[in-house]
Amino acid sequence: MKRNLKSKHKTSIKFTLILASILMIGCGEKKTTPKVEKEPTLKEAFESNFLIGSAVNDNLVSKKDSLGEQIVLTEYNTITPENSMKWMYMEPEQGKFEFETADKYIDFSTKNDIAFIGHNLVWHSQLAGWVEKIESKEELSASLKNHVQTVAARYSGKIHGWDVVNEALNEDGTLRNSLFLKQLGPDYLINSFKWAQEADPKAELYYNDYNMTRQEKRAGAIKLVKDIQASGARIDGIGMQAHWGLKDPTLEEIETSILEYSDLGIQVMITEFDITVLPNPWDLEGAEVSQNFEGSEHMNPYTKELPDSVNTQLAQRYKDIFSLFKKHSDKISRVTFWGINDGVSWLNSWPIEDRTNYPLLFDREYNRKPAYYSVLEVAKDSAL
């Protein structure tokens, strides 16, 4: 009986040793799970090149657009308010400022470490009605100074930069005959930059306009920048509004403009970037918000969806343009898209109401479009 127990015990020990050997061999040959690389976001992909951001509306800061908020937090490191910091909203009555909404934008950007661009301090459009009724040169100058300095001082030290003056040029490069130019003369431009600098000395100061790739307007913008510099006022950059099409402007025109503005010793920024895929009524030029046109089927051809062929064309256009931006990333400090997704783009209502446009990198359901991935391809291409 004892012999049988001993025999069983030896068998048990032998089995245990064999099992342990098998386990040790298995551990030695354990295979590791391949590491899946995470696709970079836009801000990550272009981190070493320039800031990349979006214009946003009040739904973002009022927590009514959670999907839009997620895109902003994931993809962008700078934002610009689309409308809420324009004069008609900031100072609707003379001397009475409305800061509640603007404060929310500042709080959102500060909390999430996002560079905030104030848009804008001085613009002939979207003024409060009372401003246009001022007849006295002295009163208008005092009101302009008070507006610029009150708003800029409110957010001093909390803001990355200001579009100090917006769209002050005609297409031929001459100064727009706005209310400010008529009553105050060209000095209002220089004074606006000086007042902004006094109120917020740490913020960068920009001039922003559309059609800045056109030769005559570019020449006018260059003269304007030189005049501001010669006056002793500070100007840190120029914003090239990029409301562009599938073919216009040409890459050569864009590149020439980047180079010539950079030669002024200032930053170049691509602002208000979107690419319309819809017909341009009567060869409309520019982005003058007062222009509008009646709709037609010809002018609104993609009400259901964007054809694959046009989607491909849009993606290639974005890729070509971003390749140029990357080439000159030493001159470009920021690229800002004008809207989070196609559904909120202003191009659905301008220059013709109720159209269906597809100008951005995210579709109406907040999904990434082929254009999004074509832009990422540019960032990955080490040859560029």
Catalytic residue numbers read: 167, 272
d(CA 212, CA 214): 6
Phi, psi for residue 52 in degrees, rounded to 5: -140, 130
Q: What is the CA radius of gyration of the chain?
A: 28
| 146, two tokens | 């008070």
Give kind and range of the element (H or E) at residue 237. strand 237-244
d(CA 60, CA 272): 18
| 288, two tokens | 């003058």
How far apart, in Å, do the first and last CA atoms of the chain sit? 84
d(CA 111, CA 65): 17
d(CA 83, CA 75): 21
Is residue 124 within 8 Å of 88, Cβ to Cβ?
A: no
Q: Residue 326 corresponds to which amino acid?
A: K
| 295, two tokens | 């709709």
d(CA 70, CA 270): 23
